[in-house]
Structure 1
Amino acid sequence: MEESLKSMAMRLLGRREYTRRELGKKLLLKGSNAQEVEELLGDLECKGWLDDRRYVEAYIRTKRQRFGMRKIFQDLESKGVAKSTILEYREEVLEGDLNAAKLVWAKKYSVKPDGPAAWAKQARFLVNRGFDQ
């Protein structure tokens, strides 16, 4: 295994958490061999330096005040986190979902909707942020 590949991975992980898929893609873009990248990712996971669960926890912590459960889970799936890992954190995200929706709504709108059109607009805003109806 090439040392520069490992040092590149360590440098990236030193800045922030990555999912296994994200880090693998970044390393492959640098022209690395797919087999070497897989070996390195396995080694990093064994040593505890690369952990999808830790990534999910950090991601939820940073996003839960602005986005709903649907949006957070959709983003995590697109980043390559296994659905089973995501579902482990479902209750944690659901706990603060209503409060987060209220805060997001209050930040955007200061008054309650006065008619059906205004209500629909505000509801669409929250749905687009990943909050359930």
Structure 2
Amino acid sequence: MSSLRQRAIRLLAQREHTKLELARKLAAHGTSDEIDTVLAELETSQLQSDSRAAESYVRSHASRLGASRLRQNLKTRGVNGELIDVQLAQGALPDELERARAVWSRKFSAAPGDAREWARQARFLQSRGFATDIIRRLLKEPMGAAEE
């Protein structure tokens, strides 16, 4: 059991992991009872925290992803819905439109010239998890600015 604990601590030393992620990574190295015991011990000693893992993930990925993609990725990592809402609400996230504009400007050098290019740029932003209304506002703005 101590080797299982050491393995878990090594994983946590690399980056914050959620309870579910640790359980998945330790599954091949111990029984489910042993894993549950180690995870409970790590949580009580505050070496593992889903809240810290979610905060760390949001902080490191918010500049590249929209809120819906962040939410989905956190769910996949095993973070519960309430904690996700708290992290996305309190996180020091810039405005969604600003983040979308930053992602868009890194990828594209010019506003879409035709409907086909508009659709391509919109699909890119949508795949990054930005909301449809944000995408519309962002892609209309450069076109509106070009007309003036």
Residue in structure 2 matched with residue 119 of structure 1 by the alignment: 118
Instruction: Identify which of 54, 58, 64 aligns with 1:66.
Output: 64
In the alignment, structure 1 segments of 5+ residues that lack a partner are: none
Give 1:84 shift: 1.2
Residue in structure 1 matched with residue 50 of structure 2 by the alignment: 52
Deviates more, 1:73-82 or 1:111-120: 111-120
Residue in structure 2 matched with residue 97 of structure 1 by the alignment: 96
Give 1:94 shift: 6.0
SS at match of 2:72: helix
Give 1:79 shift: 1.0
CA deviation digits over 1:24-70, x for unaligned, max 9?
A: 1111122x011111011111111110000100111011111111111
Q: Distance in 2 between matches of 1:33 and 1:10?
A: 17
Does the C-alpha gap of structure 1 residues 78 and 93 become closer, same or farther in structure 2, counting only changes over 3 Å?
Answer: farther
Greater relative CO (CA pairs within 8 A, separation 6+): 1
Which of the pair has more CA radius of gyration?
Answer: 2
SS at match of 2:42: helix
Q: CA RMSD in A?
A: 1.3
- Which amino acid counterpart does residue 64 of structure 2 have in structure 1? R
TM-score using structure 1 length: 0.92
Q: Distance in 1 between matches of 2:110 and 2:26?
A: 49
- Which amino acid counterpart does residue 96 of structure 1 have in structure 2? D
- Which amino acid counterpart does residue 27 of structure 1 have in structure 2? L
Does the C-alpha gap of structure 1 residues 20 and 43 become closer, same or farther in structure 2, counting only changes over 3 Å?
Answer: same
- Which amino acid counterpart does residue 125 of structure 1 have in structure 2? F
Q: Distance in 2 between matches of 1:120 and 1:27?
A: 43
Residue in structure 1 matched with residue 36 of structure 2 by the alignment: 38
Residue in structure 1 matched with residue 143 of structure 2 by the alignment: none
How many pairs does the alignment contain?
Answer: 131
Q: Distance in 2 between matches of 1:45 and 1:20?
A: 9
Indicate conservation of the 8 Å contact 1:64/1:96, yes or no.
Answer: no
In the alignment, structure 2 segments of 5+ residues that lack a partner are: 133-148
Runs of 4+ in 1 over 6 A off after TM superposition: none
Residue in structure 1 matched with residue 73 of structure 2 by the alignment: 75
